[in-house]
């Protein structure tokens, strides 16, 4: 079976506090887009997994979120393991804020869940132990995401938009960026921006309202340490440009389908492999 493992962008991303467990609480609007990795999953005899990828840095070990998702699925649910042949064609850039690894983990959980008839709620519990974004990638589409990424509020999909992407030859470690964000917590950096107002503006196709509410708290740190990246935010043709995730990739939002990557809805996201 062949699956598209979609990337996401953050139309809004704020870090609202640090938790006692060392994680940070976020407030974000996630949107899946039609940039994807391609995952082919076939069953085979035995209980071993054969893993192949065009990314030579990915091995079948703890550094691979697909491996961790596979292990967690069978360990948590105490189900008999099955042999798989997994081929992953990476197209989503790593370390750029698109959630590619979490998306891959979501795909394998959804596939195994369907194979064994596991309830989505059980898959969500497994996903929350794997990584902050993995639970979202069991659903896709448009969602408000809170907490450490484990509180996913599904909302009506935003449609009719597309994006172009600018991806510099850089990558940022998530832990490093969140460590640096502490100095911006509890400051009035949002300037009235609000995720609910953003969703309303997107539904009304209100360019001024969209520009007034798109937000990414990491922009301050990214540009402070990499001022040359400000050129990526220059936006002569779209509604607005912004960093996604902790950067350094930038999306430019356009109304209609003139952008290279369109918004992906929950129905399209979840219909694969059915």
Q: Does the pLDDT value for residue 226 go beyond 60?
A: yes
Most confident of the ranges 79-88, 184-193, 220-229: 79-88
Q: Does the pLDDT value for residue 224 go beyond 80?
A: yes
Residues of the chain with CATH 3.30.70.890: 161-262
Q: Select the CATH number that applies to the domain covering 2-154 from these four: 3.20.20.140, 3.40.50.300, 3.30.230.10, 3.90.1010.10.
A: 3.30.230.10
Q: Is 157 a catalytic residue?
A: no
Q: Does the pLDDT value for residue 142 go beyond 90?
A: yes
Q: What separation, in Å, do the N-terminal and C-terminal C-alpha atoms of the chain show? A: 10
Set 4, 14, 37, 133: catalytic member = 133
Is 270 exposed, middle or buried (CB count within 10 Å of its CB: 0-12, 13-18, 19+)? middle
Set 4, 8, 135, 246: catalytic member = 8
Residues of the chain with CATH 3.30.230.10: 2-154
Q: Does the pLDDT value for residue 188 go beyond 60?
A: no
Q: Does the pLDDT value for residue 71 go beyond 80?
A: yes
**In this predicted model, what pLDDT tens digit does every residue of 154-170 receive, in sequence order?**
999 999 999 999 999 88
Domain 161-262 has CATH 3.30.470.20: no
What is the pLDDT averaged over residues 240-244?
Answer: 96
Q: Is 8 a catalytic residue?
A: yes
**In this predicted model, what pLDDT tens digit does every residue of 15-69 receive, in sequence order?**
887 777 767 889 999 999 999 999 999 999 999 999 999 999 999 999 999 999 9
Q: How far is CA 201 from CA 12, 186, 198, 204, in A?
A: 13, 26, 5, 5
Helix, strand or coil for residue 262? Answer: strand
CA 77 to the chain's CA centroid: 25
pLDDT of residue 271: 77
Distance CA 179, CA 176 (A): 5
Query: What is the DSSP code (8-state) at residue 157?
Result: P
Q: pTM higher than 0.85 for the full model?
A: yes
Return the structure tokens found at 87: 């081929």
pLDDT of residue 177: 84
Distance CA 85, CA 219 (A): 40
pLDDT of residue 256: 96
For residue 30, list its beta bridge partners.
10, 143
């Amino acid at each position: 079976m062949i699956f598209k493992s979609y990337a996401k962008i953050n139309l809004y991303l704020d870090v609202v506090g640090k938790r006692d467990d060392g994680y940070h609480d976020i407030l974000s609007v996630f949107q899946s887009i039609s940039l994807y990795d391609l995952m082919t999953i076939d069953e085979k005899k035995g209980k071993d997994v054969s893993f192949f990828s065009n990314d030579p840095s990915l091995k079948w070990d703890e550094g691979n979120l697909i491996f961790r998702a596979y292990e967690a699925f069978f360990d948590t649910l105490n189900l008999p393991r099955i042999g798989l042949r997994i081929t992953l064609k990476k197209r989503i850039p790593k370390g750029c804020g698109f959630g590619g690894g979490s998306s891959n983990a979501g795909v394998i959980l959804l596939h195994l869940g369907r194979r064994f008839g596991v309830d989505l709620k059980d898959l969500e519990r497994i996903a929350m132990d794997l990584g902050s974004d993995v639970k979202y990638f069991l659903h896709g589409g448009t969602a408000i995401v809170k907490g450490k990424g484990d509180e996913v509020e599904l909302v009506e999909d935003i449609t009719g938009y597309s994006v172009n992407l600018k991806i510099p030859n850089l990558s940022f470690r998530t832990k490093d960026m969140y460590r640096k964000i502490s100095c911006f917590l509890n400051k009035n950096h949002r300037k009235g921006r609000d995720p609910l107002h953003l969703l309303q503006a997107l539904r009304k196709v209100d360019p001024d309202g969209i520009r007034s509410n798109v937000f990414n708290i990491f922009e301050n740190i990214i540009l402070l340490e990499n001022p040359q990246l400000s050129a990526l935010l220059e936006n002569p043709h779209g509604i607005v440009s912004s960093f996604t995730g902790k950067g350094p990739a930038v999306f430019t939002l356009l109304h209609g389908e003139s952008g290279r990557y369109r918004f992906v809805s929950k129905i399209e996201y979840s219909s694969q492999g059915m």
